[in-house]
Amino acid sequence: MKKLLLGFSLAVVQTFAQASSSAPAAPNPNPLSASAKHLYGMSKNVILKSAEEMPEENYSFKPVGTVRSFGQLVGHVADAQYEFCSTVVGDGKQSPGIEKSKTSKADLIQALKDGFAYCDQAYNGMTDAHAAEVTNFFGHSSPKLTILFFNIGHNMEHYGNMVTYLRIKGLVPPSSQQQSQ
């Protein structure tokens, strides 16, 4: 009797699980802007983790003299959040010049967090209905969603630089750490 009851209970649970998993999810009313927000979150995450991973003494490290130091990369990415997102937000906020004014790890990480917090409002406020609104960006008319995707591409371009710096210093970049877990 116990086996029959156990078998029946498992069958009910399995049927319920299948019915629950096969129910279609409600469609996202903003799939384009939601995709941008997701990718931005991924870029933000690996860049912040990279900044935290690199030891303070390596923030001045440059593989060659003609490129930015690791700290300058962090500052550049922080500055860029204002350049890209102020256009989408429309408040005219200027980049605070972090790359040229901050050198300590703590200051640069805080500036990066502040830059991302500022840019979060552009992604959080974007809807597909507003995605095609055109604004002037670097002298060209561009849809707002294009500017956000450009920001993501810029973030990932410099994450690629950070990966190289981390690897040269014998550290595993965040995206590789995630894959090995």
Which amino acid is present at 156?
A: M
Closest by alpha carbon to 47, among 149, 168, 126, 152? 152
Convert the pLDDT of each residue in 46-69 to its tens digit. 999 999 999 999 999 999 999 999
Lowest mean pLDDT among 21-30, 93-102, 158-167: 21-30
Query: Is the Cβ–Cβ distance between 106 and 72 less than 8 Å?
Result: no
Q: What's the whole-model pTM score?
A: 0.83
Q: For residues 82 and 88, what is the distance between their CA atoms, to the nearest angstrom?
A: 10
Q: Which fold has domain 29-174?
A: Four Helix Bundle (Hemerythrin (Met), subunit A) (1.20.120)
Convert the pLDDT of each residue in 14-41 to its tens digit. 444 454 556 678 888 999 999 999 999 9
| Annotated domain spans of the chain | 29-174
Alpha helices in the chain (DSSP H): 2-22, 31-53, 70-89, 98-101, 105-125, 128-131, 144-168, 174-180
Convert the pLDDT of each residue in 134-148 to its tens digit. 999 999 999 999 999
How would you class 62 by CB atoms within 10 Å of its CB: exposed for 0-12, middle for 13-18, buried for 19 or more?
A: middle
Closest by alpha carbon to 175, among 165, 160, 157? 160
Alpha-carbon Rg for the chain, nearest whole angstrom, is 22
Q: For residues 136 and 144, what is the distance between their CA atoms, to the nearest angstrom?
A: 9
